Amino acid sequence: MPKLIRVPEKNVEHAYGVYLLSREHRLIKRLRRDHQPTIHGQKSWESAYLMMDYLSHYALPKKGHVMEIGCGWGAISVFCARKYDSRVLAVDLDPAVFPFMNVLSHINAVEIGHRCADFSKLKGRELGQYQTIVGSDICFWDSLVKPLVNLATRALKNGAEQIVIADPGRPTFYEFCDLMTKKHSVHLQEWYAVEPKRAVGEIVLIKNK
Ligand SMILES: C[S@@+](CC[C@H](N)C(=O)[O-])C[C@H]1O[C@@H](n2cnc3c(N)ncnc32)[C@H](O)[C@@H]1O
């Protein structure tokens, strides 16, 4: 079992070496008065915990370039910057998520680059500059499946080494995995996390064949 880490105040959680905040934390409540994410980016989702656990087992290179797509509050970005000194770009379509991400990056003393963009519009040349592209719970609508397939294909074609996506196990996510198997190496595994609480879902690792 993991070592018990005492948190400094209520509504703070500790997971895989980073501090996270619940929706009830005083700083988050204050931010919510001015910023209301509208595409489900209103908290850190459990799939982010799966990804942190996975990336604790399958290490990233130190100081590597990582892009998180559909970052929401950016828990994975913060984790990668904290644990692996990764140079991270966190991308989300909804500008309202970034103030929350900034608070998480400040309390964890890391710097995260960010970009407000639709991931379907990211060009292959830019995607290819990142060794690892990660995302959690970003394939939740039918309309997101094909754009995600196209993004992963473009990224791998242009030099990205791996795409890792965590998901609670939605049909749209499995459809994405199925479509990727046509031309790529796809390794789908059930996964669970134990911090900040137990969570179960899926992780897919996609590479060139
Ligand atoms: C369910 S939330 C997951 C947030 C975060 N990854 C996590 O696990 O806590 C989905 C996120 O994807 C973002 N998103 C949805 N469609 C997007 C798109 N086309 N381009 C970039 N971000 C998108 C939303 O704004 C939201 O922050």
Res 79 pLDDT > 70:
yes
> Residue 165: its pLDDT value, please?
98
pLDDT tens column, 145-157: 999 999 999 999 9
Say if 3 falls within a structural domain: no
> Residue 8: its pLDDT value, please?
76
Res 39 pLDDT > 70:
yes
Say if 5 falls within a structural domain: no
Rounded-to-integer distance, Cα 195 and Cα 164, Å: 19
Q: Is 98 in the pocket of ligand 1 (CB under 6 A)?
A: no
Say if 166 falls within a structural domain: yes
Element (H, E) at 53: helix 46-57
CATH code where residue 64 lies: 3.40.50.150
Residues shown for the chain: 209
> Residue 1: its pLDDT value, please?
61
pLDDT, mean over the chain: 96
Q: Is 50 in the pocket of ligand 1 (CB under 6 A)?
A: no
User: 32: domain range?
Assistant: 12-208
Say if 76 falls within a structural domain: yes
Say if 6 falls within a structural domain: no
Can you tell me which atom of ligand 1 is nearest the CA of 120? Answer: 19
Say if 4 falls within a structural domain: no
> Residue 129: its pLDDT value, please?
98
Res 175 pLDDT > 90:
yes
Say if 185 falls within a structural domain: yes
> Residue 135: its pLDDT value, please?
98
Residue bearing the CA closest to ligand 1, atom 14: 70
Res 76 pLDDT > 70:
yes
Q: Is 120 in the pocket of ligand 1 (CB under 6 A)?
A: yes
Say if 112 falls within a structural domain: yes
> Residue 9: its pLDDT value, please?
84
Q: Is 104 in the pocket of ligand 1 (CB under 6 A)?
A: no
Rounded-to-integer distance, Cα 171 and Cα 128, Å: 28
Task: Read off the pLDDT band of 2 (50, 70, 90).
Answer: low
**What's the pTM value of the predicted model, to 2 decimals?**
0.96
Q: Is 119 in the pocket of ligand 1 (CB under 6 A)?
A: yes
Q: Is 191 in the pocket of ligand 1 (CB under 6 A)?
A: no
Res 183 pLDDT > 90:
yes
Q: How far is CA 114 from CA 6, 101, 111, 139, in A?
A: 30, 9, 10, 20
* Between 206 and 5, the higher pLDDT residue: 206
Res 87 pLDDT > 70:
yes
Cα 153 to ligand 1 centroid, rounded to whole Å? 19
Give the residue from 137, 130, 184, 131 showing the smallest Cα distance to 165. 137
Q: Is 201 in the pocket of ligand 1 (CB under 6 A)?
A: no
Q: What share of the chain is helix, strand, coil (3-state, %, to 5)?
A: 35, 25, 35
* Between 178 and 5, the higher pLDDT residue: 178
Residue bearing the CA closest to ligand 1, atom 11: 70
Q: Is 108 in the pocket of ligand 1 (CB under 6 A)?
A: no
Res 28 pLDDT > 90:
yes
Residue whose CB lies within 8 A of the most ligand 1 atoms, among 39, 76, 123, 191, for a mutation test: 39
Res 138 pLDDT > 90:
yes
> Residue 22: its pLDDT value, please?
95
- Number of structural domains in the chain: 1
Task: Read off the pLDDT band of 5 (50, 70, 90).
Answer: confident
Cα 168 to ligand 1 centroid, rounded to whole Å? 14
